[in-house]
Structure 1
Amino acid sequence: MSEDEKRRWKGPPKNEKASSGRRMSERKIIAYNAKDESSKRWIERQLSDPYVQRAKADNYRARAAYKLLEIDEKTRILSGAKRVVDLGSAPGGWLQVCLRRGTKEIVGIDLLPIDPVPGAHFVQGDVNEPEDVEAMMKGLSGPPDLVLSDMAANTTGHKQTDSLRTAALAEMALYFASEHLAPGGSFCSKVFQGGATPDMLKQMKSMFKTVKHIKPPASRAGSPELFVVAQGFKAKS
């Protein structure tokens, strides 16, 4: 993390309290104009979220950038990762983090388009489509040291269904990692409450030297998301 980021990490500037009342009124006006109650709650949460403000100040595209930064603080998965794959890249915050941390080559894929991230090779496509994956991997000179996945299914409101759908995406990401990771590489994927499924956890423990679950502070307290981090990929025999 840069010195500027560290300074901002300590909290808002000193004059922020003086203007908090004015900003609170602005938030209420913006939220009042929302189309429905759900939109209103989302807007209010975004406008009052300190991580959203930090993302703007640090020029990150999304607050999710801090999830990866905090995961890296605990695991150092970005240390020495010269070639990285980011599955589910939109809007590009994790691509930015990796590049700022010294990644030399990074590629990403998502069903959604993103604005170009200088230094990153992005393909709008489906990780299940071999042609899309091939187009993405052309941006790397060799096997990746790290595979990241922040993929999550659109929520339905039914916790068990949402958890199963996100677990399927995590398993998809793990399969990709098993096919492409360089020996000694690392894997990080979003999972939902309860962590990786027993089968997935068993598979990861056979594939990597260490496996752990992390809930970074940037992950909202009420969110069911966790991240599973596996390090020390064992070369296939």
Structure 2
Amino acid sequence: MKPPIEGGRGLSTRLRTAKGRTTASQKWLERQLNDPYVRAARAAGWRSRAAFKIIELDEKYSLFKPGQRVVDLGAAPGGWTQVAVQRVGGAGKVVGLDLLPMDEIVGATLLQGDFEDVAVEQEVLRVLDGPADLVLSDMAPNTTGHNATDHLRILGLIDLALDFASKVLVPGGGFVAKAFQGGTERDLLNRMKRDFASVKHAKPPASRKGSAEMYVVAQGFRGGSR
């Protein structure tokens, strides 16, 4: 997918400093207003600019296929779930799961709960009516500003998401998770290479240039079906 193209003369929008608004929130608002992916997401009806990240990863790795069963972990506000619904089509099944409530997405089943809960896991499999073909995770921990701590936190989330994926994936299935620069650490990476035929790291164009964000894409699950 080509990045959204902005028309005009490349002018940026600046906000007047509002009383009570911090410098950080001021910069965040200006970045949102001047982000072509944010505007393109609104125009296309995506709930977040993150939709373009999974679209770009799909175009590179062919993640989605018609009729697939897909689970989106940490799905709120629902951008990745929307893309999954569109790409698997009416014959597919998509479950969006989050601790937070989400507004309805036509074509998807939205569940509120913790994916580590066995009852939630069983409900996901019930809704899918079988094992998943693809598990997605765009989850990220709250950052502390301490790179080593933040890296350990994101690795912990990947590990938990991978545990879930290993329980619900069909043989040959795929797993996509958010990581930070530096990728996954050795033990986790070795585990993924053992369990999947292909493991790659990628930074889609929609990820902000200054962000440490990247994604791990694992395909060809070698485990057995439930």
Instruction: Give the conservation status (yes or no) of the 8 Å contact 1:60–1:96.
Output: yes
Q: Distance in 2 between matches of 1:76 and 1:157?
A: 34
Q: Distance in 2 between matches of 1:91 and 1:10?
A: 21
Match of 2:191 among 185, 203, 206: 203
1:35 and 2:21 are equivalent in the alignment: yes
Q: Distance in 2 between matches of 1:32 and 1:135?
A: 46
Q: After alignment, is 59-68 or 102-111 more displaced?
A: 102-111
Please, what is the CA RMSD of the aligned residues? 1.9
SS in 2 for 1:101: helix
Instruction: Give the conservation status (yes or no) of the 8 Å contact 1:86–1:147.
Output: yes
2:55 — aligned with what?
69
Instruction: Give the conservation status (yes or no) of the 8 Å contact 1:107–1:140.
Output: yes
SS in 1 for 2:127: coil
Within a 5 Å distance, the mapping from 1:91-106 to structure 2 comes to 91-103=77-89, 104-106=92-94
Q: Distance in 2 between matches of 1:81 and 1:34?
A: 50
SS in 2 for 1:138: helix
5+ unaligned residues in a row in structure 1: which ranges?
A: none
2:38 — aligned with what?
52
2:169 — aligned with what?
181
1:95-125 deviation per Cα after TM superposition (whole angstroms, max 9, x unaligned): 1001111241000211111111111111111
* 1:93 alignment partner AA: G
1:194 — aligned with what?
182
2:5 — aligned with what?
11
Instruction: Give the conservation status (yes or no) of the 8 Å contact 1:81–1:145.
Output: no
Q: Which has the larger share of helix?
A: 1
Instruction: Give the conservation status (yes or no) of the 8 Å contact 1:146–1:185.
Output: yes
Percent sequence identity over aligned pairs: 49
SS in 1 for 2:204: coil
Instruction: Give the conservation status (yes or no) of the 8 Å contact 2:170–2:224.
Output: no
Q: Distance in 2 between matches of 1:225 and 1:28?
A: 27
Instruction: Give the conservation status (yes or no) of the 8 Å contact 1:209–1:231.
Output: yes
Q: After alignment, is 110-119 or 82-91 more displaced?
A: 110-119
5+ unaligned residues in a row in structure 2: which ranges?
A: none
1:34-93 deviation per Cα after TM superposition (whole angstroms, max 9, x unaligned): 611111011011110110011001000000000000101110011346100111100000
Q: Distance in 2 between matches of 1:232 and 1:80?
A: 17
Q: TM-score, normalised by structure 1?
A: 0.88
Q: Distance in 2 between matches of 1:150 and 1:88?
A: 6
Q: Distance in 1 between matches of 2:159 and 2:47?
A: 26
How many residues get paired? Answer: 223
Q: Which has the larger share of strand?
A: 2
* 1:175 alignment partner AA: D
Q: Distance in 2 between matches of 1:123 and 1:34?
A: 36
Match of 2:76 among 90, 96, 104: 90
Q: Distance in 2 between matches of 1:35 and 1:81?
A: 47
1:151 and 2:139 are equivalent in the alignment: yes
**How many angstroms does 1:199 deviate by?**
0.8
1:78 and 2:72 are equivalent in the alignment: no
Q: Distance in 2 between matches of 1:146 and 1:140?
A: 11
* 1:11 alignment partner AA: I
Match of 1:212 among 177, 200, 224: 200
* 2:5 alignment partner AA: G
Q: TM-score, normalised by structure 2?
A: 0.92
**How many angstroms does 1:33 deviate by?**
5.5
2:123 — aligned with what?
135
